[in-house]
Structure 1
Amino acid sequence: MEDRKEYQGNMEKQLQEWGAKIDDLQARAEKASRDAKDDLNQRIDALKSKRDDVQKRLSDLKSASDDAWSSLKSGFQNAWNEFSSSVEEAKSKFD
């Protein structure tokens, strides 16, 4: 089982990778047709909002006491899964 610091480190690394995917989508939006650009920009805005939520939850998780960590981890994992699905869905939509 992963320890707390390893888990947090893995989540930070994955957030950076997904941030790069969002940046890639942003670059694609600049080159897309007007309709595709509007759709892509809406998706990017939603992804950024979810990313900000996940980053806040990760920050809360990092500063949580050992007792609170387990319960916060569950909420974080739910937000994480939703964000992960959204990133992959947006990426596949425009591949």
Structure 2
Amino acid sequence: MSLKDAYLDKLKAQLDEWSADIDVLEARARKAEADLRIKSEEHIATLKAKRDEAKVKLEEVRASAGDAWEELRKGSDDAWESFKHSLSEARKKFSE
């Protein structure tokens, strides 16, 4: 397995895990009171947008040829870190 394939597998697994986390947060939001539900839905919308951005980066890396994927890796890593931070913040807010 190439370094690129290993990297893509890692990102895909992380993306699947985060998608499951968003599903859990959505379920909690549906059970919340109206005021909290609105705020929760805003956070979830932000998370979904960041997740979609991460998916785009994953596909850009997947489609890259030769060593070009390594140049895309930096932008991809930044997008993943941003999503990871946003998800962590959302988890904190939902557990309050």
TM range (shorter): over 0.9
**Which whole-Å CA distance do the structure 2 matches of 1:78 and 1:19 have between them?**
18
Letter in 2 for 1:48: K
Instruction: Give runs of aligned pairs for residues 51-70 of structure 1, distance below 5 A.
Output: 51-70=51-70
Tell me what 1:26 maps to. Answer: 26
TM-score by length of 1: 0.94
Letter in 2 for 1:21: D
- Cα distance, 1:67 vs. partner? 2.7
* 1:14 is the counterpart of 2:28: no
Consecutive unaligned residues of structure 1, counting only runs of 5 or more, are: none
Letter in 1 for 2:46: A
Letter in 2 for 1:28: R
RMSD between aligned residues? 1.1
Q: Give aligned pairs, total.
A: 94
Consecutive unaligned residues of structure 2, counting only runs of 5 or more, are: none
Q: Deviations over 1:7-42 (max 9, x none)?
A: 110110010110011000100011001111011100
Letter in 1 for 2:72: L
**Which whole-Å CA distance do the structure 1 matches of 2:67 and 2:17 have between them?**
30
Tell me what 1:43 maps to. Answer: 43
**Which whole-Å CA distance do the structure 2 matches of 1:41 and 1:12 have between them?**
25
Q: Share of identical aligned residues, percent?
A: 37
4+ residue runs of structure 1 moved beyond 6 angstroms?
Answer: none
**Which whole-Å CA distance do the structure 2 matches of 1:91 and 1:61 have between them?**
28
**Which whole-Å CA distance do the structure 1 matches of 2:89 and 2:66 have between them?**
34
Tell me what 1:78 maps to. Answer: 78
